[in-house]
Structures are given as structure tokens and as C-alpha cells.
Chain A
Amino acid sequence: MGRVRLGLIGMGMIGKLHAETMSRMKDLEFVAASDVDAKHQKTAEELGTKFYQSYEEMISKEKLDGVVVAVPNELHLPIGSTCAKKGLHLLMEKPIAADLESADRLIQAAKENKVHLMVGHHRRHNPLIEELRNIVRGGKIGKLVGVTVLWSLYKPKDYFRGPFAWRAQPGGGPIRINLIHEIDNIRYICGDITRLYAEVSNEARKFAVEDTVSINLRLAGGAVANIFLTDTAPGNIGYEANTGENLFFYHSPENCYIYYGTEGVITFPKMKKFFYRDAAKAGWQFPLCEEGIKIDREDPYTRQIRNFCGVIQGSETPKIDGVDARKTLEVTLAIQKSGETGQPVVF
């Protein structure tokens, strides 16, 4: 098989990032991109790829192996299904779909048409996350006891204005938009979530959507996890700002996660391990040892597209398939529900 031929549907903020990534990659052919808004033609030209205003025209005219779909959530199902019917493999931006029923139908469409469905939870492709997963699953901090996740990034006023007024409405808030990434990370690193509870608040901004959330999770292995999330406090703590993965966010060298095990503690993304070296001197009256972990940085978006190409060529399995991504969406929606009903949710 020659170079994989890919198309892109949707050239918004994340679509453009995919376009730039694909145009840089030598091991694939970025054949064409489409967007309903003709203004994106310029970007396509700059990146040396063909532009279509109609994605349907693109997928019927061009001979593609797969498409990257980065359109608004409610269009994931209709556009994804249409592409699947044309036999195109799918890399759908996260979330997999707007709701669980749509996710099921999309998974079904991919299955019926024998195409792969991969979902763009790009953080799974970050070497930092992969290493953290290896540490936790490899027992390098003993048995996992608990996890704390902090996300405190201040959304500026413009974030909610003009065409983005939907972000102040239910469904447009930090649970659906931002927290879903944290949930996927926890699931990828630790495994399934069995029980959860959430308290939400909109007291600060007084929008219809939440601005602050506190979450408790129980994990399949018996450990627990906490998440505190707010988009209305100056903190500069959060995956986006701390990993430096997306330099739109001011890069602050802080820790946003701490993984606690019986034999060690790992801070993320600083990737420092804390432990007692001498079992006879283990306990709160003794000093701790600190050890760094070497990680080679690599752009997760590039690795994600590479994985997609490998999946299409049959040499790799998707790092996150439709069923897995549906589960992440299910947990995220359950958090929203728990916040509304005030009741825990059991899986």
C-alpha cells in the first residue's frame, strides 16, 4: 500500500491544527480539505491542499482512504455515517458524538461499512501520558491509592461573546468541553470508573452553564480520584497550560495531576517520583526521595495522525476506538447528570 490519502472535514480551530499537522507529514498524502465557509480556501492553498466547500463533493471526487472530521458535535453522526458509507476510515474529533444514541449509531455505521472509527482524544498520544500510564499500570508506584486532578484556567470574557454565546448555555460549559479530556485521561491511565458524584456551581458567572465543579470517582481497582475544575479563577493550573502542548495557553510549569500509590507518588507533568528509599524509614517522620523520569517529547497531534495512518494500513490498532470513546462520553454525561440530580451514578 502506498501513502495513505487523507481528507479533512471542518477547518475551525481544531480542524486547522489537523490541516497544519497533516501538511507537515511526509508519510501521508493530505489530498483535500473542506469547510462550508469559503474563507478557509486560503488556508488550504497555503498548505498545498485542495479545497471544497462541500464535503460530499470532496469525498465523491477524491480518492481517499480516510477522513479527519472536525465539525460541530451534532454533525459528527450525519457526516461520519455518510463517510463510512463511502468506505472511508474515520478519525472523529472528540467527543465521539453529541449524545450516546448518536455515538451508538455512528459505531454501528462504521461496523456495517467495515471502516475503522478512531476518536481524537489526542492526549492519549502524548508521550507524557503514555509514560504515566506505563508507570501506573506497571506497578511502579505500587498499588494505586488515589488521583487528584486540578483544572483552574480562567476563560476570558471574549470566550463567551458573539458567535460563542452558546458557551454560556447548558452543554457549552467546562464539563462537556474541558472535563471530558480529564475523564479520558483517567480512564486511559487507570481503567474504568465504577461510581461517581459531582457538585456543580454557577454562582460566580451566573450563566446557565456551570463554572465550577467538584467530582469524586471510584476506580475499578479500588482507588479513588478527585477532580476540581473551575474556569473562573486565576490559577493557571490545568493540563493545557502545564504541559505546554498547546501554546495558545500561557505555559506555566505547574503540576495538574498527582498520582498516589502505596510505593510512590508521581507528579504530572513534572514527572517526579517521590518515595521512601529505606523501608525501615518509611512514614511521616522521615524525608522523601525525589527522582526524575526522562521523557522524550513528541507532538501528540502528529502521533495521532500517524496512528490513524497505521490503522488504515492495518499495522496498528486505534489508541481509542468508538466503543472506548463512547464510554468516556458516557462518564462525562453522568457527571453532568449527577450535578443536576445531586445523586451519585453507578456504572
Chain B
Amino acid sequence: MEKIRLGLIGLGLMGTPHARILKKVEECDLVAASDVDEKQKAVTEELGIKFYKNYEEMIGTENLRGVILAVPNHLHAPIGIACAQKGLHLFVEKPIAQSVSEADRLIEAAEQNKVRILVGHQRRFSSLVEKAREIVTGGELGRLVGVTITWALLKPGPYFEGLLSWRKEKGGGPILINLIHEIDNLRYICGEIEEVFALVSNKVRNFPVEDTASITLRFRNGALGTIFLSDCTPSLTSWEGTTGENPLLYHDFGNCYQFFGTDGSLLFPQMKRRYYSDPEKVGWNYPVTEQGYKMVREDPYIKEFSHFCRVVIGEEAPRTSGEDGRRTLEVTLAIQRSGETGQPIRL
């Protein structure tokens, strides 16, 4: 297969590691990257790719097939649309856009210009999530009745300081920044969410943004979801604190999700399925049998970018399409709104 020529826009917190990873992806050739900040040129020199200060110049000059968008959320739609108009396939970092209406405009532009969108919800490429999806959708748990998610940890003081003080303000908190990942995971594993409710609190940090939330979801298949979210408690019960997929954070080997079905339950990410092995001995007075799954750890980012290359050449349909990214955003924003209004929201 001919290497796909890609460019990257935005060499910030996400873009810089993306550039490094893209250099390791066999299917693509990262030829250039752009950033409004000239300082980021150093990264491109290190990687031996061209640097542009102006992304428009980059997409006009280089003969690219696709771009990786790792710019601030409010620029996803305008830059994405400009790239689509040049016929470039789009990898858009999550969230797809800052609002549902902007997501719609981006999706429409992609359709009109016949380019495909892959939204960067990289957890869908985690082998743990892939396995959980296979177990749940494959019926190994019987009929899914519910799922519990805990995302509880302590963000350290510096997380909110200096240039990052926007994280104290509305929209900079754990619902839009962190929970969106949990929502996308749940949609991928359990199916569509059709109703949400949230109680939110900022009583610990007293910032304008929430620090804690208690959330209920109803899935279209009838299952219920319960989420506890907090960034102000000394806990490792979170995706980050249990999966080890973020090398910057400490983790041990607990569980952050538990899936419940009529025939079994699944502890995640320990990947242990519990069920009654003897049909004569089913019920709360009997022990459960526990079964493990052998897992192979793979780098989800490399898998994701390889997949993007196959999306560009039309070999695969995007695992997280624009519509999918839009829906994940819509559900997450609805949770935020429910927290504000105190009312459940049907989607």
C-alpha cells in the first residue's frame, strides 16, 4: 500500500504526541505540521517534517490526502470545513466541535466535499474496550441490564493554575473534558443513550465549574447506567487510575466499570466475567464463577491512526464517524444541561 500523505494542524498538548506517534505508523507519511506558534517548529525539526505557521499554506502547498486536527475546540469546525473544501479527509480530535450545531456544519461540509471524518475517541481502539464490546454485544452477559462507572480521582492544584485557569470556569470541568470519554466508551460498548439526568456539585473546590456529579443514563436497549464523577477525592477508581493507558498518571489494577447482564457481570478493566456455572445453583445464596480473558496490550493511538489511513483510502468505515462524535457530544452536553436545570433530558 502506498503511504498516505498526511499533515497535522496544531502542535499543542495533543498534537505534539500525535506527531510523534504518526511517525511510527507504517501506513502513513506525515509530511508537514502547522502551528500558529513558531516555537513548535522544534518538534517538526526533530521529526524531520516540514513546518508551516499557516495551515492554509500547508494544505495549499503539500499534496495531502488527509489532516489531523489538534487545535482548540472552537477551531475544529472552521478549520475542518476549510480542509474539507480542499478535499482532505479529516481526523478531528475529540470533541468533534464545541457545539452540536457546529458539529452539524462540519459533517455537512464533509458530505458535500465527499471526505470522511474520523473523530479522535482513541479509547475505542483500546484492546480492553474492544474486548468489553465483544463480550457485551456478543451476548456473553445475556441481556444487558445496567452498567456502573466510577471516575473518581484528585486533580492536583497546578492543574488549575496559570495558563490553565480556564479549567476553573464553566465548560472546563470534568463533564466536558473527562466524562465525554466515558460517554463515548459506553455508547460504543452498550449502545445508544436516550435519556440522561445529572446532579452536579461544586461544593468542594467552589470553582464556577463542577467538581463532582452523580449521573443516570437510560440506554435504548432498556439498560440503565449509573456514573459517579469527581476530580477532588484521593481515589484510583477511574479509567486513568486502573487501565494504565495514560503513562503520565499513576494506576493500580482496580476496576472502574462494571457491566451487568442477566447471565453474568463483567469487571473492567480486570476483565473478569462472573456467572453461575451450574444452572441448578443460581441465585444470591450461591457462589459465582469467575472467568478471565487473555488480553494483548496494544497502543490505541497507533491502531487509531492506522485505521484513519484505511478510512482515507475507503478500505474501512470510520469507527467513530462524524455522526458518532456528534452524538457523544450531544449526550455529554445534555448531561451538563441536566445538571444546570435539575431536570432529566430525553435525546
Chain A positions near chain B (C-beta within 8 angstroms): 143, 145-146, 148, 150, 152-159, 195, 197-199, 201, 203-204, 211-218, 221-228, 230, 232-236, 238, 240-241, 248-250, 252, 258, 260-265, 274-276, 282-288, 342-344
- With both chains docked as a complex, state the minimum distance between the C-beta of A239 and any C-beta of chain B, in angstroms: 12
- With both chains docked as a complex, state the minimum distance between the C-beta of A225 and any C-beta of chain B, in angstroms: 6
Bound: A228/B147 CA distance, A? 8
Cβ contacts under 8 Å, A343 to chain B:
343-344
The reply to whether A250 and B285 form a contact with Cβ atoms under 8 Å apart is: yes
The reply to whether A224 and B213 form a contact with Cβ atoms under 8 Å apart is: yes
B207 adjacent to chain A (CB < 8 Å): no
The reply to whether B283 and A212 form a contact with Cβ atoms under 8 Å apart is: no
Q: Tell me whether A204 and B262 are in contact in the complex, defined as CB-CB below 8 angstroms, given that A154-B282, A344-B343 are known contacts.
A: yes
The reply to whether B218 and A199 form a contact with Cβ atoms under 8 Å apart is: yes
Cβ contacts under 8 Å, B141 to chain A:
233
Sorted nearest first, the 9 A-B pairs with minimum C-beta distance are: A283-B156, A156-B283, A203-B222, A222-B203, A233-B260, A224-B214, A228-B226, A260-B233, A153-B284
Q: Tell me whether A265 and B233 are in contact in the complex, defined as CB-CB below 8 angstroms, given that A228-B226, A232-B262, A283-B156 are known contacts.
A: yes
The reply to whether A152 and B265 form a contact with Cβ atoms under 8 Å apart is: yes
The reply to whether A223 and B265 form a contact with Cβ atoms under 8 Å apart is: no
Cβ contacts under 8 Å, A158 to chain B:
283
B153 adjacent to chain A (CB < 8 Å): yes
Cβ contacts under 8 Å, B203 to chain A:
143, 221-223
Cβ contacts under 8 Å, B226 to chain A:
214-216, 226-228
The reply to whether B234 and A264 form a contact with Cβ atoms under 8 Å apart is: yes
Cβ contacts under 8 Å, B212 to chain A:
145-146, 223-224
Cβ contacts under 8 Å, A224 to chain B:
199-201, 212-214, 228
B216 adjacent to chain A (CB < 8 Å): yes
Q: Mark B205-234, 1 if CB is under 8 A from A, else 0.
A: 000000111111110011111111010111
A247 and chain B: residue at smallest CB distance: B285
B225 and chain A: residue at smallest CB distance: A214
The reply to whether B215 and A212 form a contact with Cβ atoms under 8 Å apart is: no
Q: Tell me whether A216 and B145 are in contact in the complex, defined as CB-CB below 8 angstroms, given that A236-B288, A248-B285 are known contacts.
A: no
Q: Tell me whether A228 and B235 are in contact in the complex, defined as CB-CB below 8 angstroms, given that A217-B214, A250-B285, A262-B204 are known contacts.
A: no
Q: Which of B216, B218, B228, B262 contacts A233 (CB 8 A)?
A: B262
Q: Tell me whether A236 and B274 are in contact in the complex, defined as CB-CB below 8 angstroms, given that A145-B232, A199-B195, A250-B285 are known contacts.
A: yes
Bound: A344/B196 CA distance, A? 12
Chain A interface: which of B31-39, B236-244, B304-312? B236-244
B253 adjacent to chain A (CB < 8 Å): no
Chain B positions near chain A (C-beta within 8 angstroms): 141, 143, 145-146, 148, 150, 152-157, 159, 195, 197-201, 203-204, 211-218, 221-228, 230, 232-238, 240-241, 248-250, 252, 258, 260-265, 274-276, 282-288, 342-344
The reply to whether A228 and B146 form a contact with Cβ atoms under 8 Å apart is: yes
The reply to whether A260 and B235 form a contact with Cβ atoms under 8 Å apart is: yes
Q: Which of A153, A250, A284 contacts B287 (CB 8 A)?
A: A250
Q: Tell me whether A145 and B230 are in contact in the complex, defined as CB-CB below 8 angstroms, given that A204-B145, A223-B201, A224-B214 are known contacts.
A: yes
The reply to whether A145 and B156 form a contact with Cβ atoms under 8 Å apart is: no
A233 and chain B: residue at smallest CB distance: B260
A275 and chain B: residue at smallest CB distance: B234
Q: Tell me whether A234 and B199 are in contact in the complex, defined as CB-CB below 8 angstroms, given that A159-B283, A265-B235 are known contacts.
A: no
Cβ contacts under 8 Å, A222 to chain B:
201, 203
Bound: A227/B288 CA distance, A? 22
- With both chains docked as a complex, state the minimum distance between the C-beta of B143 and any C-beta of chain A, in angstroms: 6
The reply to whether A233 and B265 form a contact with Cβ atoms under 8 Å apart is: yes
- Interchain Cβ contacts under 8 Å between A and B, 30 examples: A145-B211, A146-B212, A153-B284, A201-B218, A203-B145, A203-B223, A204-B145, A214-B224, A217-B199, A218-B201, A228-B148, A232-B262, A233-B145, A235-B260, A236-B274, A248-B285, A250-B284, A250-B286, A260-B233, A262-B204, A263-B234, A265-B152, A265-B234, A274-B235, A274-B236, A275-B234, A283-B159, A285-B248, A343-B343, A344-B343
